[in-house]
Amino acid sequence: MTAIADRSLGPELACTETIGADTDVLVVGVAASEDGPTLVPEDLFGTVLTAEVRTDLLDQLGAVGARGKAEEVRRIPAPAGLDDVSSVLAVGLGTLDDLDAEQIRRSAGVAARALTGAARVVTTLSGLDLAATAEGFYLGAYSFTSFRSSKSAPKPDELPIARVDLLVPEPGFGEEALSRARLTAEAVATARDFVNTPPSHLFPAEFASRAQELAEAAGLTVEVLDEKALEAAGYGGVLGVGKGSSRPPRLIRISYQGGPKKVALVGKGITFDTGGISIKPAQNMENMTSDMAGAAAVIATTLLAARLSLPLTVTATVPMAENMPSATAQRPGDVLTQYGGTTVEVINTDAEGRLILADAMVRAGEDEPDYLIDVATLTGAQMSALGTRTPGVMGTEEFRDRVARISREVGENGWAMPLPSELRADLNSKVADLANVAPHRWGGMLSAALFLREFVPENVQWAHLDVAGPAFNTGGPFGYIGKGGTGVPVRTLIAVLDAIATE
């Protein structure tokens, strides 16, 4: 699967000072105002478009109903004076008062999705925010076609944009920002590729192998534990969840050594989740191919931290298992001994993610990290509480709030949630140290986080991100998000690592 091993499938991104003679489409931004649509940014337009051309553009856009509404798209023939351009696509930015990097990213993504078949696109959106524009175009142009035969492969006019040139005022301007944006977008795309790969082709051993290949290619330290090594070391949670499948579990550890501060990342890697003996309904079960999105995100983030040479140490501990019903599967009522010795009564085998995460979090704690962040598509309750686009962020209060704030700043919408003390008693078991679920459905996202808190080392700043909805888009495309894996929360994680590195 070269789509995962080599992210060369996104559009080529480059900076340019001129529109050029081989431009298929010029993409411009249009803002809404009381006086009608306006072209932005005005200062950059003055260097590449004459006043007469700008007037003609606005006249034509007004004639086709352009208003500058956020993410509105209008495509018109290039006016006189743009002889080297085939057509112009105007994308709405909303009002200037509300314009921020995330809106630019979304508008660029919408433009990218509207321009399939274009060989070369030039955009002036870079004059507003070069990095956001680059990320939006790259991610908006993302497609996953690895399993399409010639019968359904995209036709030439359906292929994503091949190249996007971002207009800049002078040679060398924005190169550093563009490089970082490209690497970040590639990391998000890597996470998307993992999530979109079907479970027939991404089972635990294969997932670990592909992650190992990427990590070793980046020069990182890798350790993979197979089922025998997991049993010898006492990883009862990972083994318990994986014992119902003919495809045994794995645990992979990837370490980037960049500095004295240590951050542990843990990601849920359930390559497919039937619910086990507590089986899920058949309807929409195919979406459980996304139940390893947390693992995909932390692997991609660790690789990105290395590529950006961040001055800190990042270690990803990723448990991988397939949760299947069979004669060998764990049963409701079974008791597991987690890595580290805590015993857990399994009340519901569909609450499996917390069992494998608990093992991984204890192992991650043995590295004595300063910070621990776990990411998981953990509960349906996350979507009940916050919808499908807002991750829940729980943990130690100061770090929780910091992660949630950073998540909103980068456009991934994390929202801080409490860990009510009264819910903890509902996880008591009559036969073991803990039960894996509460005996009711109230506050399910919070109860799951309270379970995980039992496995967080003392004096470690901890954040838990529940991305059950945000990691996988089952609806129509929007902004720079297509259907399927979204790559959330890679951009949150790398921004948090950045903040820690500069403390």
Among all residues, which ones are annotated catalytic?
280, 354
One-letter identity of residue 272: F
Instruction: Please name the residues in contact with 86: beta carbons below 8 A apart, sequence gap of 6 or more.
Output: 23, 24, 25, 78
Dihedral sign for Cα 239, 244, 248, 249, please: negative
Q: What are phi and psi of 302, to 5 degrees?
A: -65, -40
SS3 for 423? helix
Neighbouring C-alpha atoms within 13 Å toward the C-beta of 172: 0
Please tell me the distance from the alpha carbon of residue 215 to that of residue 226, in angstroms, as a whole number. 18
DSSP-derived secondary structure letter, 126 = G
In the block, residue with structure tokens 């083994």: 239
**Tally: H helices and E strands in the chain:** 15, 21
Amino acid at 52: E
Q: Which residues contact 185 (CB under 8 A, 6 or more apart)?
A: 10, 134, 135, 138, 139
Dihedral angle computed from the Cα positions of residues 77, 79, 85 and 91, in that order, rounded to the nearest 10 degrees: -60
- The bridge status of strand 392-395 relative to strand 250-256 is unpaired
- For residues 220 and 310, the answer to whether their CB atoms sit within 8 Å is no
Q: CB-based burial of residue 246 (10 Å sphere; 0-12 exposed, 13-18 middle, 19+ buried)?
A: exposed
Q: How far apart are CA 347 and CA 278, in angstroms?
A: 9
DSSP 261-315: SEEEEEE-EEEEE--TTSPPPSTTGGGGGGTTHHHHHHHHHHHHHHHTT-SSEEE
What CA–CA distances, in Å, run from 456 to 23, 358, 365, 373, 467?
A: 54, 8, 7, 10, 19
Cα–Cα distance, 72 to 404 (Å, whole number): 29
